[in-house]
Amino acid sequence: MTTGITVFDTAIGACGLAWRDDVVLGTSLPSGGAAATRAWLARRFPDAGSEPPGPVVRDAIDGIVALLSGARRDLADVELDFSGVPEFNRRAYEIARTIPPGKTLTYGDIAHRLGMPGSAQAVGQAMGHNPFPIIVPCHRVLAAGGKDGGFSARGGVETKRRMLVIEGALADEPTLF
């Protein structure tokens, strides 16, 4: 079994990915530069080497790069390692993976699709612990009324909004600067 980590450039900064064979173990949004992203992944996956990814993982990376460049890439076929992920979270992530680029759902929408109305807060907590950001598009899950809700990645809600603008789910709002 080959376990590795890699860091790659995207339109939002240096993202990272860990894999074992052809299965993604986890991903990372930018953490303050390539070195910081690599260090974060190395702490999270201490047994991972730095071998180049194989073709299946390379396709996943290319899909992430394309998606974050504005392409309507669907990453639903990327195989993920859900071992150690609580059942509720896994089910919420599976629903989030059905949200196409450029679209959003609310935490409440996912709670209803889980058959658990009233569990929107738990869905939000699950999204906040997502080990596969971008591939499990937690950035496409909003609070009630289309509000941003939280986002635990570096840059917080601004990173979430930037990803949604790239995907066409939000209009690019002009700034004063």
Structure tokens at 103: 């679209």
When computed from its CA atoms, the radius of gyration of the chain, rounded to whole angstroms, is 16
Is 15 designated active site?
no
Q: Residue holding tokens 């629903």?
A: 95
DSSP string, 20-46: ETTEEEEEE---SSHHHHHHHHHHH-T
Neighbours of 127 (CB within 10 A): 25
Annotated active-site residue in 41, 134, 138, 141: 138
Tell me whether residue 110 is exposed, middle or buried, using C-beta atoms within 10 angstroms of its C-beta: 0 to 12, 13 to 18, 19 or more.
buried
Q: Could you give the CA distance from residue 148 to residue 40 in angstroms, rounded to a whole number? A: 26
Give the DSSP letter string of 103-123.
Answer: --EEHHHHHHHTT-TT-HHHH
Q: How many CB atoms lie within 10 A of CB 64?
A: 21
Report, as residue numbers or ranges, the catalytic residues. Answer: 138
